[in-house]
Amino acid sequence: MIDYDSFADQYREMVRKGGPGRAHRFIISRLERITSLSRASICDLGCGSGDLSSELARLGASVTGVDISKKLLAHAQALNEKVDWVHGDAMALPSNFKTASYDIVISSLMLMDIPDHKAVFREAYRIVKPGGFMIWLVMHPCFQSPFSHPDEDGSRKVYQYAPQFWKSKGTGTLRSTLGAYHRPISQYLNDFMDVGFQSIRTFEPGSESAAPPNAYAPDVPDHFGALGYKN
């Protein structure tokens, strides 16, 4: 499990400067396309410093934000008092999280930070209501890692694609400090379906207007994600 308490203040500053903003805007735009956020009950797994949860609450949703980092939750609590902020592990939620209690479960750029993403999918499936859905995004497994490099001819070389834990080069950045768990796209999707989610739609934001392309490679998506329903 990646320890965000050790990087909480730097992470909050990164968010303030726009860090995960594209992913958050993409999720909100998708939600607004398919449902009314007003009075929707939403659980944000891995809410971090609370920006996405707070914006969803501002749009009228009833939001619970869950994070394992007490320091990030302190930032979140200072941001919005209307959200129900909960200290907890998304892989094994606190006992008061009842089965079939949320309309929507979201996870934005968190699944790369935990050793067992399938446990999160399993918990999400448990707490979402029948007819509800989960939407999640991760950094793109093909293109956003130290193992993906552009060539001079404009092509891109991807290697070491197997599951692994990695840290980027350099110092002081999120991924050089905390690292990330890499999984192939197929592993994310197969595990998402295995726990029961159906009618799955996939996304590669970066090629869509709601999430501008990677500034260094306009044709390369920043993120990958999916939405699936519980019948």
pLDDT in tens, the chain (231 residues): 556 566 556 656 665 655 557 888 999 999 999 999 998 999 999 998 899 999 999 999 999 999 999 988 998 999 898 999 999 999 999 999 999 999 999 999 999 988 999 999 999 999 999 999 999 999 888 876 666 666 676 666 666 666 676 556 656 565 555 667 888 999 999 999 999 999 999 999 864 444 444 444 556 778 899 999 999
The answer to whether residue 166 sits within a structural domain is no
The answer to whether residue 195 sits within a structural domain is yes
The answer to whether residue 102 sits within a structural domain is yes
Alpha carbon 145 to its chain centroid, in Å, reads 16
Q: Do the beta carbons of residue 127 and residue 43 sit within 8 Å?
A: yes
Please tell me the pTM assigned to this model: 0.84
The residue type at 97: F
The answer to whether residue 148 sits within a structural domain is no
The answer to whether residue 220 sits within a structural domain is yes
The answer to whether residue 68 sits within a structural domain is yes
Taken in order 229, 130, 126, 100, the sign of the CA dihedral is positive
- Give the domain range for residue 8: 4-139+182-229
Report d(CA 108, CA 103) in Å as an integer.
17
The confidence score (pLDDT) of residue 212 equals 44
The answer to whether residue 56 sits within a structural domain is yes
Number of domains in the chain: 1
Report d(CA 19, CA 6) in Å as an integer.
18
Which residue is associated with the tokens 């295995």?
A: 194
- The CATH number of the domain where 53 resides is what? 3.40.50.150
Packing angle between helix 185-194 and helix 117-127, nearest 10 degrees? 30
